[in-house]
Structure 1
């Protein structure tokens, strides 16, 4: 449990360090109400640690100082925005620094897509998104097969057997992402298991390594082995796939572009890490909330039956699943799936009467906004039908969880989750074990603190 706590806090530190290291900012105080630094060297870092996570720290910060508040990381000011209205105002030509991408590329030593020419960054981002979409479309049958395999296993379980959601969903996500990213090499489960061990090692070792506050030392000393082993596998796949004439995998589509071999390797690493974690946790939370509400399950099943009947889920009919989309949107909102985002204030900006100086790091306190009672009625209740209101949909879209601003990994995760729910809910009922309390670690991706369990029973056909 201590390792998990260390991991949760250090991810935040890494994100902030990454952005401030890559984009040196002004040390001029913003004048925005907030905390004074409690330590000359570390600013308010110890306050974040004491709260247990950046999300909990931001909750307290905004409760004390309002929807726009400031704090300090080292000698540098950070501004946090904690309302939909302020986020709507904060529209400037800033470079978006995605939490996962910034953290991963900084920790792994990847600099080729951070900073530099803006047009090149935009082009590379479009290639990345196109490669994800193309690999998903071309391998949709494979996604169905892997989901069917999991559902088949669950159907064979005794009805009173508890199923560990986190373990099963991460396993499913790793299978899908590794196959779609790297192709046939990962048909064998032993390859996927070995790859998953490297994936787990990178995350766990990164968390432990930052305790000595020496990012370079920790990166080299704690993650070097896992990172180099994973990169070695990726590089060998990249070189093997260069001879492929018909692109089917994510790596193939990147190799068709003008990216260098190194850039292809980096994007493969980011997608395998970020794609797996976001997909796994979206599926975990969706099944967890469904298991607690038979009413929502029944309504979702009715829609699935109406759209697909007894046919498998098809990519072309997914847009017809209006209620399923609401269920997933409410899953993201209630779980605070990605509670923090960040932007660099590349030009001087303003929210309300407050001026945000150029080169200030601006935190979007999404976890605070997602459960703000002024924006969402009964914010702590799981209620997919709230998304029938146009105003709610617009607020959600503004936060980057739907529409054109959705990150490609989350779009990918939504599709996998629809296939899972569309297959599972029509065949099985989900039940939540009595007495189970599921709490989350709200960091870059909201994850249950402990294993989450469900039981399943067959539906009458």
Structure 2
């Protein structure tokens, strides 16, 4: 046998195999690129057919995000201006706003047609990879493991924490008359989260005091959506530093609670129990979920409570009706599920507040299949934006939509309305896991302040101007006049 011939043949085969591997890999990349281009072009074609606000070259409609008055005008008038679907552009990326309840039912009702889209990856450095930002198996695994912790019977153990923190908040109001309530409410909410989730009291050095989302900044400057550009900015470095601080702080507390050096019961303890019984739920999962709960619960709950206090201060007949509902409970009464569930009208006031000022005014999905809505075909890969703010102001669903009317949420009115007409906590399988926890927390804070003070508006601050960031806020904060009850 000619050894040189065998060697040459082997080398030739090896080279041919390497070439084949290269060709296959290249073909796969080309095919994926063509699929992406086809998907993108189908979405562009759909967007060009649908109505929407005038877009500027290159940047599209992103300047709307910085124009609070235009955003509110759009939220109030989009139904009559553009109908059931409105398109807008984030630079060259087409997005479709869907706001009719019957369409939201299809998109959000199951996990079949949609998942979180690419914009949520921009929140990974801020929120971590928890339930809000994750997709697929990671989301299903963690959601299934955590779900049972949010049963109302389990959450009842935290009502005492809610009340202790609410009473500490109200004590800070002693001697005050005209108060910019927003910052104090935010501190109260953060105090509750620290105690209920982390099992530690709030201190001035907590990194959770300093959380700052820069998603809007990236959306309004589309070149920052490119990671290669954004990673070179000071904002990116601050975001990474913030993530490191949050995760290090949370990990430190996690290790302390594992060693038993901290007392009391909190969600972190429950997460540790889950991890002890299931190796798939790792310390990294615990930290990501804890960071998500801590950050997601701050601004959203703080703004919801502040807006509710504003409406109670503005409408004294509504405030008096709530006061009558809670009149059987003395100031300082230890609350339980029974008392909180009994505050039906207060819950209606909170829900009406979240209708007009939903804490998260917009969220996003991407279609995983072609979907037909009212004879319009939405191709797979289309970015769908869902706006509770827009749906909640639909005049055919909520007549006289700008009027504050808690009776919209009476049992009879709710039963006669489409179930997807109200979604401040989203709906479907990805509905906010902690929405009942949030309602109990809000009721406790508002109950505590109403038992102590009569609320009214401060002259010159009779209205608020909404500002649209990741969460909805009142520009300049909310001012309340306090008068101690006799």
Question: TM above 0.5, one fold?
Answer: yes
Residues 1:379 and 1:315: Cα distance change in structure 2 (over 3 Å): same
> Is the partner of 1:194 in helix, strand or coil?
coil
The answer as to whether partners of 1:43 and 1:72 remain within 8 angstroms in 2 is yes
Q: Which residue of 2 aligns with 1:451?
A: 477
Provide the rounded CA distance (Å) in 2 between the counterparts of 1:384 and 1:98.
34
Displacement of 1:337:
2.7
Find out whether 1:202 has 2:211 as its counterpart: yes
Q: Which residue of 1 aligns with 2:246?
A: 230
Kindly provide the CA deviation profile for residues 208-266 of structure 1, in whole angstroms up to 9, marking residues without a partner as x.
Answer: 67756243334532222222122211111112222349982121212222311111111
Provide the rounded CA distance (Å) in 2 between the counterparts of 1:441 and 1:107.
21
Displacement of 1:411:
2.9
Q: Which residue of 2 aligns with 1:123?
A: 141
Question: 268-277 vs 131-140, which deviates more?
Answer: 131-140
Residues 1:374 and 1:208: Cα distance change in structure 2 (over 3 Å): closer
Q: How does 1:16-415 map to 2 (within 5 A)?
A: 26-27=39-40, 28=42, 29-30=45-46, 32-35=49-52, 38=55, 41-46=58-63, 48-49=65-66, 62-90=79-107, 91=109, 93-97=112-116, 104-105=123-124, 107=126, 110=129, 117-118=136-137, 120-131=138-149, 136-154=155-173, 156-158=174-176, 161-183=177-199, 186-187=200-201, 189=202, 191=203, 193-195=204-206, 198-203=207-212, 211=221, 213=224, 214-218=229-233, 220-244=236-260, 248-257=265-274, 258=278, 259-306=281-328, 311-388=333-410, 390-392=412-414, 394-395=417-418, 398-401=421-424, 405=428, 406-415=431-440
Residues 1:122 and 1:56: Cα distance change in structure 2 (over 3 Å): farther
Provide the rounded CA distance (Å) in 1 between the counterparts of 2:128 and 2:62.
23
The answer as to whether partners of 1:104 and 1:270 remain within 8 angstroms in 2 is no
Question: 70-79 vs 83-92, which deviates more?
Answer: 83-92
The answer as to whether partners of 1:206 and 1:222 remain within 8 angstroms in 2 is no
Residue 425 of structure 1 is aligned with which of 411, 426, 450? 450
> Is the partner of 1:407 in helix, strand or coil?
coil
Residues 1:51 and 1:425: Cα distance change in structure 2 (over 3 Å): closer
Q: Which residue of 2 aligns with 1:5?
A: none
Provide the rounded CA distance (Å) in 1 between the counterparts of 2:131 and 2:480.
43
The answer as to whether partners of 1:165 and 1:451 remain within 8 angstroms in 2 is yes
Residues 1:205 and 1:352: Cα distance change in structure 2 (over 3 Å): closer
Displacement of 1:73:
2.8
Displacement of 1:35:
4.4
> Is the partner of 1:382 in helix, strand or coil?
coil
Supply the RMSD in Å over aligned alpha carbons.
3.4
Residues 1:263 and 1:310: Cα distance change in structure 2 (over 3 Å): closer
Q: Which residue of 2 aligns with 1:438?
A: 464
> Is the partner of 1:408 in helix, strand or coil?
coil
Displacement of 1:397:
5.3
The answer as to whether partners of 1:169 and 1:280 remain within 8 angstroms in 2 is yes
The answer as to whether partners of 1:54 and 1:443 remain within 8 angstroms in 2 is no
Displacement of 1:59:
5.6
The answer as to whether partners of 2:99 and 2:386 remain within 8 angstroms in 1 is yes
The answer as to whether partners of 2:392 and 2:421 remain within 8 angstroms in 1 is no
Kindly provide the CA deviation profile for residues 435-460 of structure 1, in whole angstroms up to 9, marking residues without a partner as x.
Answer: 21311113432111112111211223
Residues 1:340 and 1:446: Cα distance change in structure 2 (over 3 Å): same
Kindly provide the CA deviation profile for residues 240-298 of structure 1, in whole angstroms up to 9, marking residues without a partner as x.
Answer: 22234998212121222231111111111111111111111111111111011111111
Residues 1:95 and 1:281: Cα distance change in structure 2 (over 3 Å): same
The answer as to whether partners of 2:180 and 2:480 remain within 8 angstroms in 1 is yes
Displacement of 1:299:
0.7
Q: Which residue of 1 aligns with 2:23?
A: none
May I ask how many residue pairs the two structures share in their alignment?
426
> Is the partner of 1:429 in helix, strand or coil?
strand
Provide the rounded CA distance (Å) in 1 between the counterparts of 2:73 and 2:386.
14
Displacement of 1:319:
1.8
Residues 1:297 and 1:35: Cα distance change in structure 2 (over 3 Å): closer
Residues 1:132 and 1:273: Cα distance change in structure 2 (over 3 Å): farther
Kindly provide the CA deviation profile for residues 402-426 of structure 1, in whole angstroms up to 9, marking residues without a partner as x.
Answer: 7975413443221111111222222
> Structure 2, unaligned stretches of length 5 or more?
1-35
The answer as to whether partners of 1:36 and 1:72 remain within 8 angstroms in 2 is no
Q: Which residue of 1 aligns with 2:9?
A: none
Displacement of 1:129:
4.1
